Structure 1
Amino acid sequence: MIPLICESQFFPSISVSAALGRPIAAQDVLGDLVVACAPVDSSIAEGGPKEWMFADWEEYLLAPQFLHPYSAGLNANAPEIFHMAVRLHPADRELSPPEWAEIAERLTRVTGFAPAAEGHACRWVALQAGPGRLDVIANPIREDGTRARQPWPVHEALRKECRLIEVDLGLVPAQRRGGRPLTGHLPVQRPVLPRPVTELSPPAVAAQLATLMCQLADETHGPIASVRGLVEQAAHRLEELPHSYGPAAGHRLELIARRLYGIQQDLKAAAVDLPGERAARPTRMPAAPHPAPARRSR
């Protein structure tokens, strides 16, 4: 699980559009995309949060700023809407809505938006709009006008909590702590394209090429896995750098690693469509009958 702190915005529409990957309209209903949110008052809008239009969510998130216009202090001209996201490993299982809600509550708790020991919390909403991704959008101004007390650095607190969530939910860890080594530490093995043999049948040649593609897509010793492992390691190193440039570059490398993983899956799918193991076996020709022994004439 990789955490990412996105750029703060003045309006929730920019953060929500980034989470959905598309523009958002005031009358759009987020529905089941909302997996969790801070406790809401029924007087804010009619119906439950899953029935709210985006205009209701925008009013809900911006209300603390209108109720407490002087709470920003010296940062009055700075954007207030906080946006963080987490992304799962491509090999992770699909999580249920209660599990996504648990992750959202733990992330907001560790970042100071929903402190367990204090009565006044911030307003936030968690969206699960894409596979393996959760976005949390919050206003750091609390209901009483004070600002949330966030740990420093926030990204380090998120990273530690993500490691704990991986263990509790049985997810693939971002950095292996045992078992199979990181793919970047494995030696690179370059499969050799088999030379054409005229004696082989077309299915046998196709089976050889299918074996080659399986070697390319191999998660343990394949060359693409080695490249993907190096990219993932570079992404983890960048995320440890200051937030001014490190996490954004790390996120870009994570997307590159995901595309490499997609290439591996495409190679596996192409290999499955080719003749399999039986085609690779040489076809045995029936043995020629032995000539009958000649009879000796008397």
Structure 2
Amino acid sequence: MIIRIHERATDAGPVLGDDVLGNPLSYEEKLASDALVAYWPRLDAYTAAGEPESWTVLDWAEHLSDPLYEHPFAQSPAGDRRAVLHLAVRLAPEDRPLTGQEWSEVAHRIARAAGIEVPGDSQGCRWVALQVRPQRLDLIASLIRLDGIWQRQPSGVAGRLAVEARRLESDLGLLTPGALASPSGSITALSEVAAPLASARSVVELHAQLLAGHPQARRREAGHRLEWLARRLLDLQHDLTTTADELRRPPTAPPPVPYPPSQPASTRTGSRRLV
């Protein structure tokens, strides 16, 4: 599982249309019945009235962007108004398909790890999680809360998401990018392999980013596979470097075994006093 944090935007429309659905927004198009797998808690009030069932994709985008216009003075700690956050969760191509309930579990846990959903907070962020592409989940959130305050995400959010991804892989029986056999060999061989891997990984990551937003689904899927491969190369590079560092360390000598203190001759078993 790989979680990608996209650059924040000022409007949910292009994020939902271009990045998630792959086509411009429309007043006529509606989300598929099984596309919406999770959302912010306060949306239940609309659900009870049956409103979201009639919303078009443009309605969804407007609801996500509303806090930006309702609270014109809310801004990030850096002083900007880019409040729309997009997280893309991608599984390995070899992973089993997840059920709707499993995708919902993934969405809520990722939202909590990213600081978007706080249990018991009734004035939190508006967010939705959509599953419209195979092996992928898209979570879109407004970082302006319902009370008009900017939602501060926890420090090290990328690391928190990575940790949660590993937990989800374990809980759901998914593949882990770093689940590779540890390499063995001489220190020189390890070092010689690690350096080219870094260069190869950079090239793979570049092409993955170029293909991720391609309009053709087949090329987007190729970008997904390249992104997964880049993650595996990063983990392998880390394993090689760690192993080489361990081999470079001088072996630690075990502590000497203390000998028992010598006893006076007069107290030794079977000893004789000299006269």
TM-score over 0.5 for the pair: yes
Counterparts of 2:30 and 2:184, CA distance in 1: 47
Report deviation, 1:26: 3.0
**Structure 2: which amino acid aligns with 1:136?**
L
Whether 1:147 and 2:147 are equivalent positions in the alignment is no
- Given the two structures, how large is their TM-score scaled by the length of structure 2? 0.64
Gaps of 5+ in 1: 188-229, 239-244, 260-298
Counterparts of 1:258 and 1:5, CA distance in 2: 15
Counterparts of 1:129 and 1:19, CA distance in 2: 8
Counterparts of 1:170 and 1:159, CA distance in 2: 16
Secondary structure in 2 matching 1:137: strand
Question: What corresponds to 1:65 in structure 2?
Answer: 68
**Structure 2: which amino acid aligns with 1:36?**
A
Report deviation, 1:78: 3.4
Secondary structure in 1 matching 2:126: strand
Secondary structure in 2 matching 1:162: helix
Secondary structure in 2 matching 1:146: coil
Question: What corresponds to 1:37 in structure 2?
Answer: 39
Task: For 1:189-204, list aligned pairs within 5 A.
Answer: none
Question: What corresponds to 2:131 in structure 1?
Answer: 128
Q: 2:201 aligns with which of 209, 234, 239?
A: 234
Question: What corresponds to 2:90 in structure 1?
Answer: 87
More contact order relative to length (CA 8 Å, sep ≥ 6)? 2
**Structure 1: which amino acid aligns with 2:27?**
A
Q: 1:171 aligns with which of 158, 162, 174?
A: 174
* C-alpha distance 27-77 of structure 1, shift in aligned 2 (>3 A): farther
- Given the two structures, how large is their TM-score scaled by the length of structure 1? 0.59
**Structure 2: which amino acid aligns with 1:19?**
V
Secondary structure in 1 matching 2:138: strand
Q: Do the aligned partners of 1:3 and 1:86 also contact (CA within 8 Å) in 2?
A: yes
Q: Do the aligned partners of 1:42 and 1:48 also contact (CA within 8 Å) in 2?
A: no
Q: Do the aligned partners of 2:83 and 2:142 also contact (CA within 8 Å) in 1?
A: yes
Count the aligned residue pairs. 204
Task: For 1:83-122, list aligned pairs within 5 A.
Answer: 83-122=86-125
Q: Which deviations, in whole Å up to 9, do the C-alpha atoms of 1:103-126 show, x marking residues without a partner?
A: 111111111111115332100011
Counterparts of 1:139 and 1:96, CA distance in 2: 26
Secondary structure in 2 matching 1:151: coil
Question: What corresponds to 2:19 in structure 1?
Answer: 18
* C-alpha distance 164-133 of structure 1, shift in aligned 2 (>3 A): same
Counterparts of 2:14 and 2:27, CA distance in 1: 12
Secondary structure in 1 matching 2:117: coil
Q: Which deviations, in whole Å up to 9, do the C-alpha atoms of 1:118-152 show, x marking residues without a partner?
A: 33210001111111000000000111111212122
Q: Do the aligned partners of 1:45 and 1:56 also contact (CA within 8 Å) in 2?
A: no
Q: 1:256 aligns with which of 215, 223, 226?
A: 226
Report deviation, 1:234: 3.2
Q: Do the aligned partners of 1:128 and 1:135 also contact (CA within 8 Å) in 2?
A: yes
* C-alpha distance 155-253 of structure 1, shift in aligned 2 (>3 A): farther
Secondary structure in 2 matching 1:156: helix
Counterparts of 1:91 and 1:102, CA distance in 2: 20
Report deviation, 1:93: 0.4
Secondary structure in 1 matching 2:144: strand
Whether 1:156 and 2:126 are equivalent positions in the alignment is no
Moved more, 149-158 or 120-129: 149-158
- Percent of aligned positions with the same letter in both sequences? 35
Counterparts of 1:69 and 1:126, CA distance in 2: 25
Gaps of 5+ in 2: 186-196, 213-221, 230-275
Report deviation, 1:76: 5.9
